[in-house]
């Protein structure tokens, strides 16, 4: 019998009462956002038309190390948090590794992922400011579901622009969002100027995440009392998601453990940034030196093959530009890529940390990811989301290296969500019809050619 329990739940009392702002400890800050209208660094006020004030402040605030979590947010967190830290005993045994593998599981809520952590905060601040509606976009649907849950709880109407292909292929995701009173519109749509323009140019388009973002932003800035909210990439999102890492660290301390390696999947960076936050703090401040690994799909390799450059965050080019690892805002991963992690860029905070050598990154192919996912499901009896399974893949690979070297390293990875709405991809994998896709240098060049020119900054 094991001394360390399979699952460790903190009590409500042990839950962090503050988020942690990693920027406060970074030796160098990410470069400032650029307002595309002025081509000058964006100010907090520049963000007010898009974000509510408190969130605009959080976006720009690099000084405040710890930010109090509002009571109302904590109350809703308590409906599904603290999330468990799980020891992967069966996976360890099956691999025959001396490594100890832990994972922080964020999938035990109806949205099915960690996205709820930021959705709650963003819906709360919007309500608190007296806003009367919100807009967002969703691709695979986890973010849309999470935000619909949060908006329903705080009583604020929500419109979700859902990438048309997802709207058509994932009617059940749409149904969940509607159960939580969210209004779902397939994107591109005729409700926005950018949508109408794209439809006029290409009436049969299946849509893209960038286009859905542009529609949601346009709707927000042109509607009284309405703002836009985004589930990843942003500094504010990483702040809210720090709850994942803070809880993980407390739980590991209770077990007298500290990770040698911290692994997270990386799309826009929300989960990775949240999970690693307190461990990165230790690394930056010299208290500890864990390896921190971002895992991205080989089909959308922003860190491993992207450029560290200023880029548009949305296809419509209305939101502020950010310096980040990017494939170019025109880059669209192959249609056969399953699940999320398909954003062209990466959180500016994580991009800076990677650029400065604090973090490693690996890209993995999706058949290898689904191999890991099915193995994990059978051993740990949790059906993982394709996104999360990128982290599983690398955790397994690192544990196998430990087997070779005989090192009993402690590995922590983020299991961000469940895969119940991704069974079409699982079926394709089981049937042997899943393909891998690695963009050619030519593919990437097309994306890079679309990077913006900013006088005096990026010519």
Q: How far is the CB of 247 from its own copies (least distance, A)?
A: 14
- Cα 248 from Cα 416, distance rounded (Å): 13
Q: Give all strands (DSSP E) within 36-118, no chain letters.
A: 40-41, 66-68, 85-87, 100-105
Q: How far is the CB of 75 from its own copies (least distance, A)?
A: 8
Q: How far is the CB of 8 from its own copies (least distance, A)?
A: 9
If one asks whether residue 383 binds its own copies (CB under 8 A), the answer comes out as yes
Q: How far is the CB of 181 from its own copies (least distance, A)?
A: 7
Q: How far is the CB of 382 from its own copies (least distance, A)?
A: 5
If one asks whether residue 7 binds its own copies (CB under 8 A), the answer comes out as yes
Choose which of 392, 421, 434, 447 interacts with its own copies (CB under 8 A).
421
Residue range at the interface with its own copies (CB under 8 A); choices 129-137, 185-193, 267-275, 373-381: 373-381
Q: What angle do CA 435, 263, 445 make, to 5 degrees?
A: 50
Q: What one-character-per-residue DSSP string does 2-58 give?
A: -SS-SEE---GGGS-SEEE-GGGG-SSPPPPPEETTTTEEPPTGGGTTTS-HHHHHH
Residue range at the interface with its own copies (CB under 8 A); choices 45-53, 209-217, 233-241, 424-432: 424-432
Q: What one-character-per-residue DSSP string does 204-258 give?
A: T----HHHHHHHHHHHHHTSTTEEE--SSSSHHHHHHHHHHHHHHHHHHHHTT--
407 touches 99 (CB < 8 A): yes
Residue range at the interface with its own copies (CB under 8 A); choices 129-137, 193-201, 380-388, 451-459: 380-388
If one asks whether residue 38 binds its own copies (CB under 8 A), the answer comes out as no
Instruction: Identify residues 149-188 at the interface with its own copies (CB under 8 A).
Output: 149, 152-153, 171-172, 175-176, 178-181
If one asks whether residue 258 binds its own copies (CB under 8 A), the answer comes out as no
Rg (CA), the chain: 21
Residue range at the interface with its own copies (CB under 8 A); choices 23-31, 228-236, 375-383, 385-393: 375-383
181 touches 97 (CB < 8 A): no
Q: Which is nearer to its own copies, 107 or 268 (CB)?
A: 107
Q: Which is nearer to its own copies, 127 or 305 (CB)?
A: 127
Tokens of 131: 């806003």
Q: What one-character-per-residue DSSP string does 119-139 give?
A: HHHHHHHHHHTT--EEEEEES
**First and final C-alpha spacing in the chain:** 63
CA atoms within 13 A on the CB side of 437: 16
218 touches 197 (CB < 8 A): no
Choose which of 418, 434, 439, 447 interacts with its own copies (CB under 8 A).
418
If one asks whether residue 413 binds its own copies (CB under 8 A), the answer comes out as no
Q: Which is nearer to its own copies, 146 or 313 (CB)?
A: 146
Tokens of 28: 């160098």
Q: Which is nearer to its own copies, 119 or 229 (CB)?
A: 119
Residues that bind its own copies (CB under 8 A): 1, 5-7, 9, 11-12, 71, 76, 78-80, 90, 108-110, 112, 116, 149, 152-153, 171-172, 175-176, 178-181, 374, 377-383, 418, 420-421, 423-424, 426-427, 430
């Amino acid at each position: 019998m094991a001394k360390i329990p399979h699952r460790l739940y903190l009590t409500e009392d042990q839950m962090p009462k503050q988020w942690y702002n990693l920027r406060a400890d970074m030796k160098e800050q990410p470069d400032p956002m650029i307002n595309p209208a002025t081509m000058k660094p964006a100010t907090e006020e520049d963000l007010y038309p898009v974000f509510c004030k408190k969130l605009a402040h959080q976006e720009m605030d690099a000084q405040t190390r710890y930010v109090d979590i509002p009571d109302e947010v904590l109350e809703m967190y308590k409906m599904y948090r603290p999330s468990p830290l799980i020891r992967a005993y069966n996976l360890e045994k099956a691999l025959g590794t001396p490594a100890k593998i832990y994972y922080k599981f964020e999938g035990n809520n109806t949205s099915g992922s960690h996205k709820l952590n930021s959705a709650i905060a963003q819906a709360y601040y919007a309500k608190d400011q007296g806003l009367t509606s919100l807009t967002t976009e969703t691709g695979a649907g986890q973010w849309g579901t999470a935000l619909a849950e949060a908006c329903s709880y705080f009583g604020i109407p929500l419109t979700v622009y859902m990438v048309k292909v997802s709207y058509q292929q994932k009617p059940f995701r749409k149904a969940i969002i509607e159960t939580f009173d969210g209004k779902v519109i397939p994107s591109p749509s005729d409700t926005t100027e950018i949508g109408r323009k794209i439809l006029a140019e290409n009436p049969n388009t299946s849509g893209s995440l960038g286009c859905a973002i542009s529609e949601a932003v346009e709707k927000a800035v042109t509607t009284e009392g309405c703002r836009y909210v985004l589930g990843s990439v942003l500094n504010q999102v990483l702040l809210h998601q720090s709850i994942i890492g803070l809880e993980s660290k407390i739980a590991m301390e209770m077990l007298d453990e500290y990770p040698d390696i911290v692994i997270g999947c990386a799309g826009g960076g929300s989960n990775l940034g949240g999970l690693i936050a307190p461990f990165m703090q230790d690394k930056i401040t010299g208290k500890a030196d864990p390896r921190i690994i971002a895992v991205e799909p080989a089909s959308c390799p922003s860190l491993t093959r992207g450029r560290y450059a200023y880029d548009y965050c949305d296809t419509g080019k209305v939101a502020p530009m950010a310096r980040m690892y990017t494939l170019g805002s025109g880059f669209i991963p192959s249609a056969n890529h399953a699940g999320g992690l398909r954003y062209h860029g990466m959180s500016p905070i994580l991009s800076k940390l990677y650029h400065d050598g604090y973090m490693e990154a690996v890209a993995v192919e999706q058949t290898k990811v689904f191999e890991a996912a099915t193995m994990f499901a059978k051993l740990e009896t949790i059906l993982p989301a394709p996104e999360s399974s990128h982290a599983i893949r690398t955790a397994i690979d690192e544990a196998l290296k430990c087997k070779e070297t005989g090192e009993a390293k402690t590995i922590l990875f983020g299991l961000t969500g469940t895969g119940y709405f991704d069974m079409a991809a699982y079926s394709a994998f089981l049937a042997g019809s899943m393909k891998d896709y690695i963009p050619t240098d030519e593919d990437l060049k097309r994306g890079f050619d679309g990077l913006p020119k900013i006088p005096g900054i990026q010519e």
